């Protein structure tokens, strides 16, 4: 873990729970794509930088989930590097309490205020075109989170952030976190048609072709949607749908899984409602979902 993997002369990635990109900008200057999940990750990245005599100029975050921005504060404090984050992600990066608050739907209790869901604050700036070094380009990848982006490096390596889950992850966890299902499906179709020298998803193996994996993720979205529709053949509350989904997939409920999968299920319900495939009704002051 935290091994430096060379992809091209200028582009590497650091093997970690959420892969970190590294792009050489000159003889010694480098930038990072994301920073890992916490201070310890940042410390290990710093050791790699020092061992190679590299100077970190900037961190370009793909989105604001804690496992992608957790090393920001440490690395920024140690190196003075700048941090950039796209759109709404910048606000979440500057105020990480927003992530567990959003997931929970209110002020998060202490069970949710930890590094898995809430990174330390970092002094992030909005990601704009003029903030990017020459040749580094963004790719819009909304759906998993609000304004997530990927990056294409000058030597044609594409970092895909969290838009793809590996086959093993899908088989183990079944329901991957999604904020906007419609946007996510559009992103997966876009990714399926991309070409690059190498693709580096954050949570799947690097590969020259990710079209098959993108289709696998698309198929899983539609599978989950059909399962939810099946659970709503008779009017069902959100909690009932969530409980039965966990049971059908053999998942184990924890506080973290309740908010992560729960938020995702709410997103599926919204998508299916907007598409006219679900109807809602209220009975004894309980919101019920029913297949249209």
CATH number at residue 109: 3.60.15.10
The strand ranges marked E within the chain are 3-6, 11-15, 20-24, 29-33, 55-60, 82-85, 124-126, 137-140, 149-152, 157-165, 198-203, 278-283, 286-291
Written as six digits, the tokens of 69 are 């921005």
**Does residue 204 surpass a pLDDT of 90?**
yes
Same domain, 123 and 17: yes
> Rounded distance, CA 271 to CA 268, Å?
5
Q: Among the three residues 105, 134, 163, which one is the final residue of a domain in this structure? A: 134
pLDDT in tens, 29-85: 999 999 999 999 999 999 999 999 999 999 999 999 999 999 999 999 999 999 999
> Rounded distance, CA 214 to CA 91, Å?
29
CATH no. for residue 281? Answer: 1.10.10
* CA distances from residue 274 to 184, 270, 271, 281, 292 in whole angstroms, order as listed: 15, 6, 5, 15, 11
Same domain, 13 and 128: yes
Dmax over CA atoms of the chain, in Å, equals 68
Has residue 103 been placed in a domain? yes
DSSP symbol at 24: E
Has residue 82 been placed in a domain? yes
pLDDT of residue 1: 87
Has residue 128 been placed in a domain? yes
Backbone phi, psi, residue 168, to 5° = -65, -40
Residues 6+ apart with CB under 8 A from 20: 13, 14, 32, 33, 34, 35, 36, 41, 45, 71
**Mean pLDDT to the nearest integer, 16-23:** 97
**Mean pLDDT to the nearest integer, 101-124:** 97
How much is the mean pLDDT over the chain?
Answer: 98
pLDDT of residue 238: 98
Element (H, E) at 248: helix 238-249
Output helix, strand, coil percentages for the chain, rounded to the nearest 5.
40, 25, 35
Same domain, 3 and 127: yes
Q: Look at the chain and report how many structural domains it folds into.
A: 2
DSSP symbol at 265: H
Nearest CA to 192 out of 148, 147, 228, 158 is that of: 158
**Does residue 96 surpass a pLDDT of 90?**
yes
Has residue 164 been placed in a domain? no
**Mean pLDDT to the nearest integer, 165-172:** 97
Has residue 95 been placed in a domain? yes
Q: Among the three residues 90, 111, 134, which one is the final residue of a domain in this structure? A: 134
**Does residue 244 surpass a pLDDT of 90?**
yes
Give just the sign of the alpha carbon dihedral 148, 176, 1, 47.
Answer: positive
Has residue 215 been placed in a domain? no
Q: Strands 55-60 and 82-85: what pairing?
A: parallel
> Rounded distance, CA 198 to CA 178, Å?
25
Question: What range does the domain containing 265 cover?
Answer: 229-291
Q: Among the three residues 79, 113, 134, which one is the final residue of a domain in this structure? A: 134
């Amino acid at each position: 873990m935290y091994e430096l993997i060379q992809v091209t002369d200028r582009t590497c990635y650091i093997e970690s729970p959420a892969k970190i990109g590294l792009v050489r900008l000159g003889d010694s200057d480098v930038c990072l794509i994301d920073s890992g999940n916490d201070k310890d990750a940042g410390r290990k990245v710093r050791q790699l930088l020092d061992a190679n005599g590299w100077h970190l100029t900037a961190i370009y975050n793909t989105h604001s989930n804690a496992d992608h921005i957790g090393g920001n504060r440490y690395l920024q404090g140690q190196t003075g590097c700048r941090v950039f984050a796209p759109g709404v992600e910048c606000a979440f990066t500057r105020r990480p309490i927003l992530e567990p608050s959003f997931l929970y739907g209110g002020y998060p209790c202490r069970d949710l205020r930890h590094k898995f869901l809430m990174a330390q604050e970092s002094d992030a700036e909005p990601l704009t075109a003029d903030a990017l070094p020459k040749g580094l380009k963004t790719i819009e990848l909304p759906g998993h989170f609000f304004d997530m982006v990927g990056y294409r490096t000058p030597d044609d390596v594409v970092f895909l952030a969290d838009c793809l889950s590996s086959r093993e992850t899908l088989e183990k966890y079944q329901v991957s976190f999604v904020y906007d299902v419609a946007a996510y499906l559009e992103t997966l179709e876009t990714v399926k048609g991309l070409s690059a020298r190498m693709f580096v998803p954050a949570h799947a193996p690097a590969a020259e072709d990710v079209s098959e994996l993108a289709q696998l993720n698309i198929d899983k979205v539609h599978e989950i949607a059909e399962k939810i529709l099946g659970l709503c053949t008779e009017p069902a509350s959100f909690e009932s749908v969530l409980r039965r989904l966990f049971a059908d997939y053999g998942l184990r409920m924890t506080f973290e899984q309740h908010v992560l999968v729960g938020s995702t299920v709410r997103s599926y319900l919204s998508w299916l409602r907007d598409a006219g495939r679900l109807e809602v009704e209220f009975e004894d002051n309980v919101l019920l979902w029913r297949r249209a």
